[in-house]
Amino acid sequence: MSGYSGVSGATPRVLLTGFEPFGGESANPSWQVAEAVAATPPPGLAVTAVQLPCVFGESLTALRSAVAEVEPDLVVCLGQAGGRPGVTVERVAINVDDARIPDNAGAQPIDVPVVPGGPAAYFSTLPVKACVAAMREAGVPAALSNTAGTFVCNHIAYGLGHLIATELPHIRGGFVHVPWSPAQVTNGTSPSLPIETVATGIRAMLLTAATTHDDLQVTEGATH
C-alpha cells in the first residue's frame, strides 16, 4: 500500500501500548518493551507508554482513554506472540474474537465480532514494509505478519483500526507483535529476543512510521 503521509508537528506525539501479563506468565515483553522505549525514546519523538488490560472490551476502553489523554499523532500497540522468532508488524486485523484461552477476566468469546456491523477487516495505516525494513537495518529480526490472531491482540488491533477509520482519521496506527523474552523460555529451544533488542527495533520503526511518506514496494507476502 502507498500514499502514507508523514506525521506533522514540532514534536510528534506517540502512544505506545503494551499488555499486562496473561496466561499464567509473570511478565509480558510487550509492556517491558513499551516502558523501555518510553524511558529512552527515539530522537524527535515524545513517547507515552500505557499498559492495557488483557481483557476483551476493557482493553479497548483503556485504549480510547489513553488516546483521548495523549492526543497522539501515532499509535502503536504491542502484544506478545510467543513462538515467533522476531518482531512482526501486523498488516491486517479481522472483526472476530475467538479465544483459545480465557482473558484475564475469565471471558472466552467464540465467534463474536469486535465491532458488531463493522467491516470484516482493517489494514494498518502504518507503512508496514518500511517499518520492517527499518528494524532489520537496526539489526533486529523482523517480518511482516498477515495474522494478528483472534485473541486480545487482534481485538485491540481491530478496535484501533475502527477508531481511526470512524473518528480519528488524522491519526496513524497499527499493531506489532513481539516474541518471548529469554526469561520466559525455559525449554531452551523456543525463540526469544532480549527486551532491549526489541526496544531498539521499535525505536527504529517509530521513527520510520513518523517520517515515511510512501511504503516500500517490496515483496513481504506469504504462500500460506
User: Among the options 54, 77, 162, 177, which is catalytic?
Assistant: 177
Q: How far from 187 is each of 22, 23, 96, 190, CA to CA, in Å?
A: 19, 17, 32, 7
Active site annotation includes 155: no
Can you name the residues that pair with 72 across neighbouring β-strands?
Answer: none
Among residues 54, 77, 131, 153, which one is catalytic? 153
Burial degree of 6 (CB within 10 A; 0-12, 13-18, 19+): middle
How many CA atoms, within 13 angstroms, populate the side-chain half-sphere of residue 62? 20
Q: Which candidate in 90, 131, 155, 162 is catalytic?
A: 90
Give which of 30, 22, 158, 165 is closest to 97, Cα–Cα. Answer: 158
83 CB neighbour count, 10 Å cutoff: 10
Tell me, yes or no, if 90 is annotated catalytic: yes
Q: Is 213 a catalytic residue?
A: no
User: Which residue shows C-alpha cell 527486551?
Assistant: 195
Q: Is 173 helix (H, G, I), strand (E, B) or coil?
A: strand
| SS3 state of residue 21 | coil
> DSSP letters along 105-158, please?
TS---SSB-SSTT--SEEE-SS-HHHHHHHHHHTT--EEEES---SSHHHHHHH
Residues marked active site are found at: 90, 153, 177
